[in-house]
Copies of this chain bind each other. A is one copy, B any other.
Amino acid sequence: MQRSIDVCLSPELIQQHDLAGKIALVVDVFRATSCMVAGLAHGVKTIRPVLEVEECRQWQTKGYLAGGERHAQKIEGFDLDNSPFSYMADDAKGQKIAMSTTNGTLAINRAKATAKEVLVASFSNLGATTKYLLEQESDVVIICAGWKGRPGLEDILFAGALVKSLSSTHENLEDSTHLALASYDAAEEDMLGYLQRSSHLKRLKTLGGKDIPFCLIKDQFDVVVHLIEDELYIK
C-alpha cells in the first residue's frame, strides 16, 4: 500500500499542507517533544500542551504540574523546566503535566485543527513511531516546530531520518522532503557535529550541557505518543 510522506519546514508554512485525513507528526527536538516522549515513557500520566504561560498556571491550580520554557529559560513558579531529565524524574511519575513551549505547542495546535490524527515524536522514539506509521494506512506530514517560525535544523534532521525509515512504503514527492533527506544524509554519522554549525545549537548548548546530546540519541523509548482530545498519551 503506497502512502506519501511530506515535511512542513516551519509552522508558518502549515497552510501549504493539506492535513485532512493525514497523520500529522509534530517534532521539536530541542526540546519540547523530546521532553514529552521521555516523560511519558517514564510514567508521566498525560501532558497537555498549552500555548500561554498563564493557561499553564491555571492548570497548575487544578493539580497539574506546570512545565515549559520561554526563550529557553524555566518559567517562574513552574514545577519543571524544559530538560528531558526533569520529565523523567521520580516526582513527575503518575502526574499530569501542563506544558507551555514556544514552538512545539504552536505546531501541535495548528496540526490538530485539521489532521486526522496528531502524534509527537523525537529521535528517542523514532523506531517505535516508524513501526506505528508503517501499520497505518494514512499519509504522513511531519511538522517541524523550528524556532520562532524559522526552520530548525535539528527538527529537519529528524524529519529526514523518518523519511528515510519510511522510504520503501511512503512516497516522497515534495522538495521540502528531499531537502530534509539531504541534510540527514549529510549529518547522519555525526549529528551533534553537524548541528554545532547551527546558530540555534550555539545558543542552546550554553543552557544545558547534557540535554542536547540526550535529545539526539535514537530509539531510547518504545512508545508512540498520541494527542487525544487536548492531551498527549502513550496508547
* Residues of chain A having any CB pair with chain B under 8 Å: 9-10, 12-13, 15-16, 146-153, 156, 173-176, 178-179, 182-183, 185-187, 197-200
Contact = CB atoms under 8 A, between A and B. Distances in A.
A192 to B, nearest CB: 14
Nearest to A174: B199
Given A13-B151, A16-B149, A152-B175, 13 more contacts: A12-B13, A13-B13, A13-B150, A15-B149, A147-B175, A151-B176, A153-B178, A156-B175, A174-B199, A178-B198, A179-B179, A182-B183, A182-B187
Nearest to A149: B16
Nearest to A180: B179
A174 to B, nearest CB: 6
Nearest to A176: B151
Interface centre among A10, A175, A178, A179 (most CB of B within 10 A): A175
B175 A150 contact: yes
Contacts of A183: 178-179, 182-183
Contacts of A173: 199
B150 A179 contact: no
